[in-house]
Amino acid sequence: MGRSAAARALNAPYAVGFARPGDDPDIRQLLRGTEFAGDVRLSLEREPHSLLAAAIEGDVRGTIVARDSATGTLAGIASRAVRDVFINGKPARVGYLGQLRIATTFRRRRELLEAGFAFCHMMHDRERDSSLYLASVVADNHQARRLLARQSAGWPRFEPVASVTSLAIPVSSGRRRPSDIVLYRGTPEATDVIVDCLSRNGARWQFYPRWRAADFGSSRLLGLDPSDFVIATRAGHTVGCVACWDQRAFKQVIVRGYSPRLTRSRLFINLISPFTGIPRLPREGTQLQFAYLSHFAIERDDDEDVVAALVDGARERAREKGLDYVVVGLSRTCAALPAVARAFKHRAYDSVLYVAFWPDAEAAARELDGRPPYPELAIL
């Protein structure tokens, strides 16, 4: 459906539809001009082309654009993706609604959100490719969280299912590892071992992505090579794996500023950083040099030795790439989170994971069991 037709169908002053190649310059400009509030103000950008990063979000994906019907001005964007995951231990399809950005002059215009959600509802009814959707909001974005709690007519219902903590860990020198844990790097020949480890252990977590050997070398794992994986063994058995996913070639996080409190203390924090191990606070306009710790899978969430060994092995890979940090995101109910936090100096950031659904999928939402959610931060 074309944008003008979508706008008429939705009875809104906005033309809403999926992005075309010609939309890319406006999308990237909007991303550059949108900051996330907090102690550290960040912009999440997608250079050199906004659609490159969309490929990793799911096998079904699309960037939604909304333009002012009268002027053609880009008012906002969002993304809709669908991918295979594990739900209640079984393979299933789940959607993701994210990357919401609204141009400054169109903020506080409720009809823009109405048009966007109406378009998503239309796609939901037409495609029937997912019952449930995930969404993530930074914990201190209180305005967005209040908005999602309104449960407005026509919108999906948003219910929080997890508090997620992301740890930014410096790639400083390695730490001593237990002698019974052996780490080795992934290779193309080890792909089946990696996929088996991911599937076997991912089924224990809610919403864990279901990866296949065919994903390696495809756009689903853009920028990720088997050699970026670290595999842990004990007594000859695979007990975990993790990947160091460097996405700087198509996704960038730029520091746009600091809160007054951090501005005052930034110089002191950076001065003592080499002694404390706490990450430095870079100057404004700087791109953060980090990789995601993705594809995190372990036999036992509370096995601190394996958890720490895997993170340390991934830090080693990140150092080889010239990176400053690795970032891992885990739900607070996952036993691996405190293990990582105890083992490494870090800076923590909190967010809230939501399950979104329209009335036809309420039963599916109520059937979710108590497994700890695993939102794959690298593809959100």
Q: At residue 361, does pLDDT exceed 80?
A: yes
Q: Which CATH number fits the domain 3-163+351-379, given the four candidates 3.10.20.580, 2.60.120.260, 3.40.630.30, 3.40.50.10440?
A: 3.40.630.30
Q: Are 273 and 280 in contact (CB under 8 A)?
A: yes
Quick one: average pLDDT of 300-313? 94
Distance CA(166)–CA(377), nearest Å, equals: 8
**C-beta atoms surrounding 169 within 10 Å:** 25
Q: What share of the chain is helix, strand, coil (3-state, %, to 5)?
A: 35, 35, 30
Q: How far apart are the first and last CA of the chain?
A: 26
Q: Are 82 and 130 in contact (CB under 8 A)?
A: yes
| Stronger pLDDT, 148 or 248, i.e. the higher one | 248
Q: Same CATH fold, 168-252+276-350 and 3-163+351-379? A: yes
Q: At residue 7, does pLDDT exceed 50?
A: no
Q: At residue 9, does pLDDT exceed 50?
A: no
Q: Are 154 and 118 in contact (CB under 8 A)?
A: yes
Average per-residue pLDDT for the chain:
92
Q: What residue segments make up the domains of the chain, in order of their start?
A: 3-163+351-379, 168-252+276-350
**C-beta atoms surrounding 212 within 10 Å:** 13
Q: Are 147 and 110 in contact (CB under 8 A)?
A: no
The model's pTM is 0.92
Specify the CATH superfamily of domain 168-252+276-350: Gcn5-related N-acetyltransferase (GNAT) (3.40.630.30)
Distance CA(289)–CA(251), nearest Å, equals: 11
User: What pLDDT is recorded for position 107?
Assistant: 87
Residue 169 sits at the vertex; the CA angle it makes with 168 and 174, to the nearest 5 degrees, is: 170
H/E segment holding residue 336: helix 336-343
Rg over alpha carbons for the chain, rounded to the nearest Å, is 21
Q: At residue 370, does pLDDT exceed 60?
A: yes
User: What pLDDT is recorded for position 292?
Assistant: 98
pLDDT digits (tens, 9 = 90+) for 307-333: 999 999 999 999 999 999 999 999 999
